[in-house]
Amino acid sequence: MKAWGIFLLLLCLQAITYAVIGESQTCPAENVGKCDDSDWEGEFFPGINKIKYEGPSSKNPLSFKWYNAEEEILGKKMKDWFRFSVAFWHTFRGTGADPFGAPTKYWPWEDGTNSLKMAKRRMRANFEFINKLGVDWWCFHDRDIAPDGETLEEANANLDEVVALAKELQMQSKKKVLWGTAQLFMHPRYMHGAATSSELGVYAYAAAQVKKALEVTHYLEGENYVFWGGREGYQSLLNTDMERELNHLARFFEAAVAYKKKIGFNGTLLIEPKPQEPTKHQYDWDAATTANFLRKYGLIGEFKLNIECNHATLSGHSCHHELETARINGLLGNIDANTGDPQVGWDTDQFLVDIQEATMIMLSVIKNGGIAPGGFNFDAKLRRESTDVDDLFIAHIIGMDTMARGLRNAATLIEDGTLAELVRKRYQSFDTEIGAQIEAGKADFDFLEKKAKEWGEPKVASAKQELAEMILQSAL
């Protein structure tokens, strides 16, 4: 009887606890699994306050040392130069798993399922995270934020339910979607590609999935929409009709443009170049290849590029090269701020911490006048060995601080003018009447041959590369 009394007392205490939870509409993270998502208002990141700027001398890992959101650099606030965004898939769906090991990350709010209830809980965690980090944008894939379904109708219904919550949370927090996208690479149906699949049924399914993702991005007032063709390519040309697949891909993009206009979505459509992985060869190999594709099919005015730094290095270029290629073609739309490891041959999606690389990136961004309505999306993930909740904040903080240092350095170089003057002097022979004729297309070969004979052997000046590197280093 004594044991029975204790049991009844425990039941009463539990009932009182749930009554208090219901009355205050809170459910702390440690009570995961014990309350409905609709009651979840407790902190997912208890003990972590909003991240503040404390300056370079601060030793607090949960503070900004270089990123000061409201500080003006070259006439624009830091936050407006960057428009930082958190990638939902890496931050809230990343598990630390790799081809050789099981997941290593078990966040306290996870219950081990991919249910709608869990999807809503993750969405709430996402908004608490970006609020505390002080970031105004977030990015998503459709299948990352909501579970797939047995049918397209079920998948769409799941997405609608989670998106309704996201819309509510956006209105409460005044946050925005930088871009949305459809995940057209994970499901087995996409093993031959999506828009370039050899199967008509897969092409149609992919179109339906993009149609829904465009609608959802528009509903969430997203500012861009991204296409990443991870499997739009080939493993072997022996069994591939490349011309037909490229034509199909162009028709797919044309249909996306038409539907964007039909629903009144004013966001920018972006294509994200990547050379390979998972496909041996992807049709959007790099910025130049993608620009050529857009011109060939008359799409150059409908799309811009989302340049990912890690993808740039996989294609044999620097991130700076890819940004400049996109910029001079009028196609620079967004940047996925990450990096790879020179000792690892695949896409490691690390947070960018190289200050020199960040400086070069910001030189391109400043030349471009900024990248709005695009921004800097942290398409980056924690290392497999980083497993604490606060590591999520620390990783984003160092990424934001690195880019802020890059902006400060680039501004110093521009205001000093020494590097720009070095470049100007290198090409000063074209700042002449004849140089102007050449650049205007008014100097034919007969004329140039005459001048070459008249001038004799040309004198070639030094490129002063080491001096240019010295000037760059002086700003770091």
Token pair for residue 316?
């044999």
Tell me the average pLDDT across 215-235.
97
Q: How far apart are CA 24 and CA 43, in angstroms?
A: 13
Residues 453-463 pLDDT 10s = 999 999 999 99
Classify 65-416 by CATH class.
Answer: alpha beta
CB atoms within 10 A of CB 173: 13
Find tokens 């179109």 and name the residue. 207
Token pair for residue 157?
């219904």
Say if residue 61 is preceded by a cis peptide, omega within 30 of 0: no
Q: What's the gap between Cα 120 and its chain centre?
A: 22
pLDDT at 5: 42
Residues 308-334 pLDDT 10s = 999 999 999 999 999 999 999 999 999
**Cβ contacts of residue 70 below 8 Å, gap of 6+?**
77, 78, 79
Q: How far apart are CA 285 and CA 466, in angstroms?
A: 31
* CA-based end-to-end distance of the chain: 76
Q: Is 102 helix (H, G, I), strand (E, B) or coil?
A: coil
Q: How far apart are CA 217 and CA 157, in angstroms?
A: 15
Write out the catalytic residue numbers.
Answer: 141
Tell me the average pLDDT across 370-392.
96
Please state the pTM of the whole predicted model.
0.90
pLDDT at 33: 44
Residues 181-202 pLDDT 10s = 999 999 999 999 999 999 999 9
- What residues does 268 pair with on adjacent strands? 224
Alpha helices in 302-429 (DSSP H): 309-314, 319-328, 355-367, 389-416, 418-426
Tell me the average pLDDT across 19-47.
53
Residues 89-146 pLDDT 10s = 999 999 999 889 999 999 999 999 999 999 999 999 999 999 999 999 999 999 999 9
Give the residue extent of every domain in the chain. Answer: 65-416, 431-475
Q: How far apart are CA 359 and CA 474, in angstroms?
A: 12
pLDDT at 37: 52
Helix (H) or strand (E) holding 227: strand 224-227
Tell me the average pLDDT across 393-417.
98
Residues 273-310 pLDDT 10s = 999 999 999 999 999 999 999 999 999 999 999 999 99
